[in-house]
A and B are shown apart, each in its own frame.
Chain A
Amino acid sequence: MTTFPLPLNVIFLKVGVYAIYLIIGIAFGYVLESSGFNKSTILAKQFYFKDLTVFKVFFTAIVAGMLLIFGAAAFGLLDYNLIWVNPTYLWSGIVGGLVMGVGFIIGGFCPGTSLTALATLKVDGIFFVAGGLFGIFVFSETIDEAPHFFNGSYFGRLTLMDLFDLPTGVVALLVTLMALFMFWGGEKLEDIYGGKDSSKAPKGRYIGAGVAVLGAIGLIAIGQPTNADRWNWIADERQAQLDNREVQIVPEELLHTMHDSKLNLVMLDVREEKDYNLFHITDADHVLPEEIPGMINEFIALPANSLFVIMSNDETRATEVWKYMVAESVPNVYILEGGLNNWVDIYATPYENEYCAGEKESPADDEFKYLLTSALGDHCPAAYPHLEDHEHVEYEPKIKMELKRAPSAGGCG
């Protein structure tokens, strides 16, 4: 199992977690200041091609950060599913970006750099921060007038890999090559407009460029972990849970969970559509196993009180889906013990019996065993049994909600 990112809230008290973020912030500010980001004239000169320091720092950081993140993910050290990837809100992102660009050329800073300017007593930086606070105030007072624009064009966790349908390593290589091309062009521009002489710049940067390209090619060669790889990392622990039946919950436990308003219960009915139409539990979503991979990010982004219960006619198909989801780091996933066949056994009422012409003689594994004369869907009592209508059966609760590891909001949240 990948160890990183760390489940900070489980390991440390809140003060410890905050201390970690403070240290990260200090390192961030230190590097920004040391790179010259506290000086507005340096920042602004990049837009006149005179001094592209900021441009170079920025894209070098992206390339270095990217190669390290996906390198760590490739070796199974870091779980990419559990790190915050900014969701895409296309048009508010683009318009916001353009407004930021205008603010950048007028103000000479961006928010992060203005903080280091303020820290080093640059008066223009202090005014920028003051203006920044005012801008946020104006935004919070006005944005509720345009909620559709602000919340529209939402694409969720969309990556460049999804967009171009390319492997991660290839995207990383393209980003690296693009950055290197921009550095090369940038240095030429500095020679022309800034009166610099790039031939005197340290030669070590060629070595750095070579290392970055090799790193990106390495990412292509290794590839990112597949679901099978991810399952193998956790197989020992998780297969034992399956074998010891620690994750198969009895219908009674699901029934109690359905009536627990503190939980965000997500029931996934992974059977074929015809079975689902014959009978399903109220509020169970019909999802085919092949649709699951596209929904993982959505599942991980759900609130911490979300609980997933997977169900098929028996357990075979539900177990396969369970393994897939668990390997993708979705928390709190369980299987309905005995599937829908068992559920109907327990909760069928005279109403259902009326539409039942008996059981199939020798149903295959994971096949719906009842012969229904009509497709009931969830329009029958067994689809949503009331607690008080049933005798309470003693059972050992198996659901243990684990704390969420993935950040639910990040970036400039």
Chain B
Amino acid sequence: MTTVTETPSKETFIKRLFNRPAKEYWNAYTGGTLLGIVLFLSYFITGNGLGASGGLSRFVAFIEDIVAPGHVDRVPYLIKVAGGELNALDNWIVMVAIGAIVGGFISGLRNGRVKWETNRGPQITDKQRWFWAFVGGTLFTYGARLARGCTSGQALSGGATLSAGSWATMFAIFGGAYLFAYTFRKLWN
């Protein structure tokens, strides 16, 4: 840390905050071990694992409940989370999802990786990348709802607690991705 003698103005402070030199990511095994410890602590303290798509799901139900409350009360899948007086956001999984955004931001800020950019393969444009990201996100969460959990809630959490169904889902996720990797090679290579 270099010593700064003059008191910087607010703007330069923010500038400096966002213009830190980007640091390397952690070693994969170190990161994995720490992720495993976070997962364990979650189970140890609360009895629940980690999750991401559940938070998004409740956010959607929350918006729908504002826009069309009558509709929410007629769709069985939505009634469970937002029917009648229920507040869809009043659930622990929403806190985990908000936390994940906050935690990602803190880590990105500390390590100089908060940067407005688009990551893509060399053969496509930014706009193409955005289109495919949207399509991929749509498919992913559709599958995640169908499987009752995504990579975090099913594969990671259910994997560590040795749920048979979660292992089946985990292999299906990796299987599906490797199966179609060749088809979509142009997106990434």
* A-to-B contact residues, CB < 8 Å: 4-6, 8, 17-18, 20-36, 38-42, 44-45, 47-48, 52-54, 56-66, 68-69, 72, 77-78, 80, 82-90, 92-125, 127-141, 143-144, 150, 155, 157-163, 168, 171-172, 175, 183, 202, 205, 208, 405-407, 410-413
B28 vs chain A, min Cβ distance (A): 4
Instruction: Check A412 against B152 for contact (C-beta < 8 Å).
Output: yes
A48-B189, A104-B136 known, 7 other contacts, Cβ within 8 Å: A109-B137, A114-B137, A133-B59, A135-B138, A136-B56, A140-B61, A159-B164
> Quick one: closest A residue to B163, CB to CB?
A86
Known: A93-B154, A131-B136. A31 touches B46 (CB 8 A): no
Instruction: Check B172 against A100 for contact (C-beta < 8 Å).
Output: yes
Instruction: Check A158 against B56 for contact (C-beta < 8 Å).
Output: no
> Which of B60, B129, B130, B167 interacts with A137 by CB under 8 Å?
B60
Interface of B is mostly: helix
Q: How far is the CA of A398 from the CA of B183 in the complex (A)?
A: 66
Instruction: Check A139 against B29 for contact (C-beta < 8 Å).
Output: no
Q: How far is the CA of A197 from the CA of B37 in the complex (A)?
A: 28
A282 vs chain B, min Cβ distance (A): 31
Residues in A neighbouring B105, C-beta threshold 8 A: 29, 119-120
A123 vs chain B, min Cβ distance (A): 4
Residues in A neighbouring B170, C-beta threshold 8 A: 97
**B14 at interface (Cβ–Cβ under 8 A)?**
no
Instruction: Check A412 against B93 for contact (C-beta < 8 Å).
Output: yes
**B107 at interface (Cβ–Cβ under 8 A)?**
yes
- Looking at A32, A34, A35, A45, the one whose CB has the most chain B CB atoms below 10 A away is A34
A338 vs chain B, min Cβ distance (A): 37
- Looking at A66, A102, A172, the one whose CB has the most chain B CB atoms below 10 A away is A102
**B185 at interface (Cβ–Cβ under 8 A)?**
yes
Can you pick out 27 interface pairs between chain A and chain B where the beta carbons lie within 8 Å of each other?
A5-B43, A5-B45, A28-B42, A56-B28, A62-B156, A64-B40, A69-B44, A78-B44, A87-B148, A88-B165, A92-B146, A96-B147, A97-B154, A100-B140, A100-B176, A101-B173, A105-B176, A105-B181, A109-B137, A135-B145, A137-B64, A140-B64, A140-B75, A158-B163, A183-B29, A411-B149, A413-B54
Residues in A neighbouring B166, C-beta threshold 8 A: 86, 88, 93
